[in-house]
């Protein structure tokens, strides 16, 4: 049995003052909402940091859109509070919350020109005509629609209409920009282009963004932090890399991309690593904590598994499982293999090309992976 090397914590840095706490744009305190007997949002507390791009991610029915609608003021909380600058805004109507809103269906006025659509919130605020014209022109340039202000929405493509909706949402300089699946109606290529544009505009404006999506790739690409939601509650909150590489639950691991979930018994601790017995004849080392003899689940991302022909893996690897390829899927830049490791099936993703050739179904292989890339999940 391989034993992991001793792991030591980095030395503390003395004499360095802690960084100041980030400013909070919106505070959610024990927020809940019921639709009749259905509890759509269940006791959610969350600080939304000023200037961040925060994504609410979850499947249909997870409560993410309901939570966004309460922040916007379109739904009243059943219980709990929403604060901006320390002030409870629960009784303030949507048009006075200084929040911009972008919907999936654009919600543009079909009888108005593009310029009139964008200028609408400025006219409501009774800004001078010259100021409205200046801001509308700036907004059009920012979303790449300069010179198209005289067109109507039906004369624009879907992507252009979404840009108009975005410009209308930020033209009055809101404190918070709310987006409810704004790219859901676009095809994949255009959606990816708009993701880049949204991040560019976010950086340029520095506005706080709260973004709702069920698209995992979109959340990972765009967010400063991701809030994974499940049945109205917060499953996990953190930066994309943390949520992806160190999921706290089987739901978070499985929903945010492919993940191998392996269940076993904790049999040994060694520093920051633990050894998990899987069945009677195999074990694996993973990062995390667990009590000896506890039954736990371990998450391993497919791209963290190194797959090699039988006998080709490093002999000193702590995690080294033999197996047989049962299936493979070509993904363009990579191949995903399904490997039977003796009753436990694991997915491994390998970049292909150049001297690296695809392995065949039925071939014997060995899977290895670093212990720190296998995460012990919290008990449900």
pLDDT of residue 353: 66
Six token digits for residue 136: 């509308």
Place of tokens 């691991």: 253
pLDDT of residue 35: 94
CATH number of 24-251: 3.40.50.300
pLDDT of residue 303: 94
Alpha-carbon gap, residue 260 to 220, rounded angstroms? 19
Residue 239: closest CA among 258, 252, 254, 220: 220
Q: What are the helix (H) ranges across 223-328? A: 240-245, 250-255
Alpha-carbon gap, residue 24 to 86, rounded angstroms? 9
DSSP state of 155: G
Beta-bridge partner residues of 57: 213, 228
Helix, coil or strand: residue 230: strand
Six token digits for residue 361: 């179904």
pLDDT of residue 106: 81
User: Exposed, middle or buried: residue 351 (CB in 10 Å: 0-12, 13-18, 19+)?
Assistant: exposed
pLDDT of residue 288: 86
Alpha-carbon gap, residue 225 to 48, rounded angstroms? 10
Instruction: Please say whether the beta carbons of 29 and 83 come within 8 A.
Output: yes
Alpha-carbon gap, residue 70 to 76, rounded angstroms? 6
Helix, coil or strand: residue 324: strand
Alpha-carbon gap, residue 180 to 83, rounded angstroms? 20
- Cα of 92 vs its chain's centroid, Å: 30
pLDDT of residue 7: 47
The backbone region for 272, taken as left when phi is positive above 0, alpha when psi lies in -120 to 50, beta otherwise, is alpha
297-314 pLDDT tens trace: 999 999 999 999 988 878
pLDDT < 70 regions, the chain: 1-19, 353-356, 379-380
Domain boundaries defined on the chain: 24-251, 258-376
- In this structure, the number of other CB atoms found within 10 A of the CB of residue 283 comes to 19
Residue 23: closest CA among 83, 75, 64: 83
Place of tokens 């001297």: 355
DSSP 276-324: EEETTTEEEEEES---TT-EEEEEE-GGG-EEEETT-S-TT-SSEEEEE
pLDDT of residue 13: 56
pLDDT of residue 380: 62
**Matching CATH number, 258-376, of 1.20.120.1200, 2.40.50.100, 1.10.10.10, 3.30.70.20:** 2.40.50.100
Instruction: Please say whether the beta carbons of 243 and 226 come within 8 A.
Output: yes
């Amino acid at each position: 049995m391989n034993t992991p090397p001793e792991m030591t914590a980095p030395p503390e840095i003395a004499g360095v003052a802690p960084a100041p706490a980030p400013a909070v744009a919106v505070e959610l305190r024990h927020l809940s909402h019921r639709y009749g007997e259905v509890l759509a949002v269940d006791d959610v507390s969350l600080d939304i940091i000023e200037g961040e791009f925060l994504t609410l991610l979850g499947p249909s029915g997870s409560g993410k859109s309901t939570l966004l609608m309460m922040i916007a003021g379109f739904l009243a909380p059943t219980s709990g509070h929403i604060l901006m600058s320390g002030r409870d805004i629960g009784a303030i109507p949507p048009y006075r919350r200084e929040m911009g809103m972008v919907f999936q269906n654009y919600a543009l006025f079909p009888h108005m020109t593009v310029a009139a659509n964008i200028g609408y919130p400025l006219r409501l605020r009774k800004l001078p005509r010259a100021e409205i014209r200046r801001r509308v022109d700036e907004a059009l340039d920012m979303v790449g629609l300069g010179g198209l202000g005289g067109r109507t929405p039906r004369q624009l493509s879907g992507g252009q209409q979404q840009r108009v909706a975005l410009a209308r949402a930020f033209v009055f300089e809101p404190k918070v920009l709310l987006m409810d699946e704004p790219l859901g109606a676009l095809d994949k290529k255009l959606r990816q282009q708009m993701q880049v544009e949204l991040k560019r505009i976010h950086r340029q404006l520095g506005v706080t963004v709260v973004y709702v999506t069920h698209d995992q790739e979109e959340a990972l690409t765009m967010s400063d932090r991701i809030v994974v939601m499940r049945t109205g509650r917060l499953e996990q909150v953190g930066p994309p890399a943390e949520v992806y590489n160190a999921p706290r639950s089987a739901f978070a691991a499985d929903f945010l991309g492919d993940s191998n979930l392996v269940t076993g018994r904790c049999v040994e601790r060694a520093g920051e690593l633990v050894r998990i017995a899987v069945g009677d004849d195999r074990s694996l080392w993973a990062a995390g904590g667990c009590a000896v003899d506890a039954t736990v689940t371990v998450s391993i991302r497919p791209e963290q598994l190194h797959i090699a022909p039988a006998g080709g893996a490093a002999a000193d690897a702590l995690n080294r499982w033999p197996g047989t390829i049962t299936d493979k899927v070509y993904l363009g830049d990579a191949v995903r293999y399904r490997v039977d490791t003796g009753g436990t099936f694991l997915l491994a993703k390998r970049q292909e090309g150049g001297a690296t050739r695809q392995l065949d179904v039925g071939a014997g292989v060995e899977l290895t992976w670093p212990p720190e890339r296998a995460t012990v999940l919290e008990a449900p």
